[in-house]
Structure 1
Amino acid sequence: MENSARPTIMITNDDGIDAPGLRALVRALLSTNLYDVRVCAPDSEKSAVSHCITWFHPLSAKRVEIAGATAFAVSGTPADCASLGLSKELFPTLPDLVISGINMGSNCGYHIIYSGTVAGAREAFFHGVPAISMVGGKSNVQDFLLAAQACLPLISAVLTEIKNQRYPQHSFLNVDVPTDVVNQKGYKLTKQSRSIVKMGWRQVTSENQGGKMLSTMTMEKASFNPSEAQQPTTQQELTLFKREVIGGEIDESGSDYKTLQEGYITITPLGALSPAEVDSVTYFTSWLPTVVEHASPSAL
């Protein structure tokens, strides 16, 4: 970042380039008149695709009009968009910061691995570019702008650290804004919890209604016409399975999930992959020598 230049921020997400959360974040950043804003986001919703990338097929990138920003809609995943946006094929230089979001929902605990939003930030981290994954809690659409505005001081502070070459290079940030944005209690540094949203499967028949899975990983009841489902061609073929949430959250002091529920904006540093917990490492450190001791010569 040059001293005389305005910081450049590239935005991506997994809800798609037309998502209200992304547009609210662009609007909030541009309202400060402090940043050059770029957008490189999926051309359609790509929620819960994790870090999926496009490998064998070409991508298309189309210019999209977003007032005040240079924007491209890409026929790929969030990780694709982050990678392409940093390739210098669409933009002439690297951004100072990548922000993935703001999306509806919450990204806490182990189910971060499912998140395309987090993957967009993680891909930037892989490229050596500071990144923030950002979600706006389970808020209404009109709260996205408030969530973005609540995060502006954090974004400004991160860019200051980057400019002064003090920002750590071995992590990226996952930020969750609570449901009640107006009454949020401020920022709090948290750790990734062990909470997880487990997924089950249910056969959809004429007797049970379907639903649609949201990017928040919660279920919303929706009308379902069994005739719209693919019908079995043989008696051995099942008609259709529908995903449903069957898990819950683990309450851990100081964790992202618990702190978010307490009304704080949670800031959780993440690495490329979550390391094993200390007790597991301790166990395997003492266990591995016993394996070697008892291994037969033919097995080595």
Structure 2
Amino acid sequence: MEEGNRGTIMITNDDGIDAPGLRALVTALVATNLYNIQVCAPDSEKSAVSHCITWTHPVAAKKVHIDGTTAYAVSGTPADCTSLGISKALFPTVADLVLSGINMGNNCGYHIIYSGTVAGAREAFFYDIPSISISYDWAKATSNLHDFTLAAQACIPVISALLADIKNQRYPHKCFLNIDIPSNVANHKGYKLTKQGKSIIKMGWKQIASETEGRKMSSDMTTADVAARSDFNTSSISPESLLFAREVRGAQHDHDDTDHKCLQEGYITVTPLAAISQAEEDCQNYFKNWLQNVSESPSSLAL
């Protein structure tokens, strides 16, 4: 970022370019009149695609109108959108900061691995561009679309402070940030620095009679009370095929001071992440001795 210039922010997501979370974030940032805003987001929902990329065929990018921005809807994944958006093939300048969100549903614990939202930020991290993934803990019974506006406004101080650090060359490039905003965002308890935990919605499978029997899985990996996607491709399904749909079988929650627990307590959690996950120390120690024994006794590999 050159001295005196307006910072440039690129926004992507995994819920699609028309999603209310992305639109609320764009509106809040445009309203500050402080930044140049680029939008490069999927043209349809791409929830839970993780860090999938398009490799075997081209992606299409279509210019769309979003007030105060230069925006494109892209046929690829969130990681594709970030990669294309920061490549200079689409926009003439590379953004100073990439934002991915605001996702409908939290992204804590092990769900970070599944998340296309987090992947949108992680892809920028791969290229040494500061980034933040942002998710709102949508509660079906109580949340409403205005909560995305409140969530976006709650993130503006973090975004502004980060851009100031980028401008002053203080930003640490060894991580990116994952922000989760509590359901009761109007009464949140403030920001809290947390670590990624091990919380997860445990999934199972059930056999179904037809594709219309399954219900759509929402962004937070719970089952939504809406019909299955109408664009479900049935052309390759033979009459002899068995059909299975995912279903929720329970949950695993953290009891220590990690992202999901603090989010449920009402904090806006700020979790530094990196691309590489290191195994815990006891695993390193175990396999150090184990591998040495394997090397010394190659005959033990025979069955």
Q: Secondary structure at the match of 1:58?
A: coil
Instruction: Give the match for residue 53 of structure 1.
Output: 53
For 1:95, give the aligned amino acid: A
Where do residues 235-254 of structure 1 align in structure 2 (5 Å cutoff)? 236-238=240-242, 240-254=243-257
**Contact kept in structure 1, 2:216 and 2:227, CA below 8 Å:** no
Q: Which among 267, 272, 275 is matched to residue 272 of structure 1? A: 275
Q: Which among 171, 176, 183 is matched to residue 175 of structure 2? A: 171
Instruction: Give the match for residue 152 of structure 1.
Output: 156
Instruction: Give the match for residue 23 of structure 1.
Output: 23
Equivalent-residue separation in structure 2 for 1:297 and 1:112 (angstroms): 38
Distance of aligned partners of 1:136 and 1:223 in 2 relative to their CA distance in 1, 3 Å threshold: closer
Distance of aligned partners of 1:243 and 1:164 in 2 relative to their CA distance in 1, 3 Å threshold: same
Instruction: Give the match for residue 290 of structure 1.
Output: 293
- Alpha-carbon deviation of 1:252? 2.9
Equivalent-residue separation in structure 1 for 2:132 and 2:106 (angstroms): 14
Distance of aligned partners of 1:110 and 1:4 in 2 relative to their CA distance in 1, 3 Å threshold: same
1:124 aligns with 2:128: no
Q: Which among 208, 212, 226 is matched to residue 216 of structure 2? A: 212
**Contact kept in structure 1, 2:294 and 2:300, CA below 8 Å:** no
Instruction: Give the match for residue 65 of structure 1.
Output: 65
Q: Secondary structure at the match of 2:290?
A: helix
- Alpha-carbon deviation of 1:246? 1.6
Q: Secondary structure at the match of 1:212?
A: strand
Farther off after superposition, 171-180 or 161-170: 161-170
**Contact kept in structure 2, 1:210 and 1:221, CA below 8 Å:** no
Q: Secondary structure at the match of 1:197?
A: strand
Paired positions, count = 293
- Alpha-carbon deviation of 1:127? 1.3
Per-residue CA deviation, residues 133-157 of structure 1 (Å, 9 max, x unaligned), is 0011114222001000001111111
Q: Which among 190, 194, 203 is matched to residue 199 of structure 1? A: 203
1:190 aligns with 2:194: yes
What is the root-mean-square deviation of aligned Cα atoms in Å? 2.2
- Alpha-carbon deviation of 1:259? 0.5
Structure 2 length-normalised TM? 0.91
Q: Secondary structure at the match of 2:41?
A: strand
Instruction: Give the match for residue 90 of structure 1.
Output: 90
Q: Secondary structure at the match of 2:91?
A: coil
Distance of aligned partners of 1:245 and 1:26 in 2 relative to their CA distance in 1, 3 Å threshold: same
Equivalent-residue separation in structure 2 for 1:22 and 1:229 (angstroms): 27
Instruction: Give the match for residue 165 of structure 2.
Output: 161
Structure 1 length-normalised TM? 0.92
Q: Secondary structure at the match of 1:109?
A: coil
For 2:181, give the aligned amino acid: V
Q: Secondary structure at the match of 2:82?
A: helix
For 2:251, give the aligned amino acid: G
Per-residue CA deviation, residues 167-208 of structure 1 (Å, 9 max, x unaligned), is 1111111110000000100111111111122322111138x9
- Alpha-carbon deviation of 1:296? 4.1
For 1:200, give the aligned amino acid: G
**Contact kept in structure 1, 2:202 and 2:252, CA below 8 Å:** no
Q: Secondary structure at the match of 2:38?
A: strand
For 1:94, give the aligned amino acid: V
- Alpha-carbon deviation of 1:297? 11
Q: Secondary structure at the match of 1:57?
A: coil
Gaps of 5+ in 1: none
- Alpha-carbon deviation of 1:280? 1.4
- Alpha-carbon deviation of 1:22? 0.4
Per-residue CA deviation, residues 20-58 of structure 1 (Å, 9 max, x unaligned), is 110100011111111111000001111111111111111
Q: Secondary structure at the match of 1:147?
A: helix
Equivalent-residue separation in structure 1 for 2:289 and 2:227 (angstroms): 55
